[in-house]
Homo-oligomer: A and B are copies of this chain.
C-alpha cells in the first residue's frame, strides 16, 4: 500500500496554514481512487513534524464537510495540529444496491472492514484510516508525526472515532472525542442495518467488534474520551445515538468523569452548527494529549 502515489487535487491557504486535497489509488478500498483533505498548520515544515487529529464525518458526507463547516482549522492552526479528513466510504465500488439508501453503502462506510463477499473488496474503511492513510502520507514525506495521533468525528464518524480508539491494540490514538456519535450501533436501526449489510456475522459480529458501548464495557486501560450531544437532535430522540448506554457502560466498569466525559447540551441539534459551537473545545481537549 505504501507505494501509492499522492496526487494533489487542490490547495487552499487557511489560517496561515494550508488545506490540501489529495487523491490516490487505494489498495484498502480495492484499487478505487480515494480522496482526503489534510490541513497543515503553518508550523509544519520539512524539518518539523506536527501531531495529527483525524476527523471522521457522518452519513452522506465526504472529506469536505468537516473542512468547510466544522470551524476546526483556526483552532488547529493556533494549536499547531494537523487535521486529516478522510472520506466516509469507497466511491464507485459498483456493488449492486450500494447507492440505494443514504444510510448504507456509498457515503456510509461505518469505518469497519466488511466481511460479506460483495462488500469485502472495497468497504475497508477501518484499514484505510488506521493503516493506509498514515502509510501513504508518510511515504509522501508530509510533515505529520503519526506517533502523535488522536481521533474525533460526528455521528457515524463519532462511532468510528470511538471504535477505532477503543479497538486499537496498538494504542494508535491518544484520545477520542465525538459529536452526536452513534454510541451503541448494535442496538439502533442505523447500526443494525450497517452490520447486517457489511458483516457475514451480522449484528452479532458488529457488536463484538464495532460497538463502542460493548468495547468500553470490556476496556481496562486508561482512556481519554469526550462526547457531546444535543437534546434537540432528532436522531438522538429517535434512539440512533444512545449516549446514555455508553456512559452507563463506562461508569459500570469504573471510568470516571475525567476519563469518560459525556455532555448533554440543551436544544442543540445534529447539524454542523452544533459541531462548530463545540469545535474549539474538542481540539483543545485533544491538544492536551497530542502536545503532552
Binding site for B on A (CB under 8 A): 12-16, 19, 68-69, 71, 73-74, 230, 232, 267-269, 271-274, 276-277, 280
Q: Which residues of B contact A14 (CB under 8 A)?
A: 273-274, 276-277
Q: Which of A71, A230, A269, A273 has the most CB of B within 10 A?
A: A273
CB-defined A-B contacts under 8 Å, sample of 17? A12-B271, A12-B273, A12-B274, A13-B230, A13-B232, A13-B267, A13-B269, A13-B273, A14-B274, A15-B276, A15-B277, A16-B277, A19-B273, A68-B69, A71-B71, A71-B74, A71-B276
**Nearest-CB residue, chain B, relative to A15:** B277
Does B230 lie within 8 Å of A273, measured CB to CB? Answer: no
A8 → B minimal CB distance (Å): 14
Which secondary structure dominates chain A's binding surface? mixed
Tell me which residues across on chain B come within 8 A of A68, comparing CB atoms.
Answer: 68-69, 272
Q: Which residue of B lies closest to A271 (CB)?
A: B12
Q: How far is the CB of A193 from chain B (nearest CB, A)?
A: 27
Complex Cα–Cα for A272 and B73 (A): 12
Task: Assess whether A274 is in contact with B13, with CB atoms less than 8 Å apart.
Answer: yes
The answer to whether A12 touches B269, judged by C-beta atoms less than 8 angstroms apart, is yes
Contacts of A232 in B (CB 8 A): 13
A-B complex: 6 closest residue pairs judged by Cβ atoms: A14-B273, A12-B273, A13-B268, A13-B267, A15-B277, A12-B271
Chain B residues with CB under 8 Å of A16's CB are 277
CA distance A232 to B15 in the complex (A): 14
CA distance A14 to B265 in the complex (A): 11
A276→B74 contact, CB < 8 A: yes
Point out the residues of chain B lying under 8 angstroms from A19, CB to CB. 273
Given A13-B273, A19-B273, A73-B276; 15 other pairs, CB 8 A cutoff? A12-B269, A12-B274, A13-B230, A13-B268, A13-B269, A13-B274, A14-B276, A15-B276, A15-B277, A16-B277, A68-B69, A69-B69, A71-B74, A74-B276, A74-B280
Q: Which residues of B have CB within 8 Å of A272?
A: 68
Query: How many whole Å from A67's CB to the nearest CB in chain B?
Result: 8
Neighbouring B residues of A269 by C-beta, 8 Å: 12-13
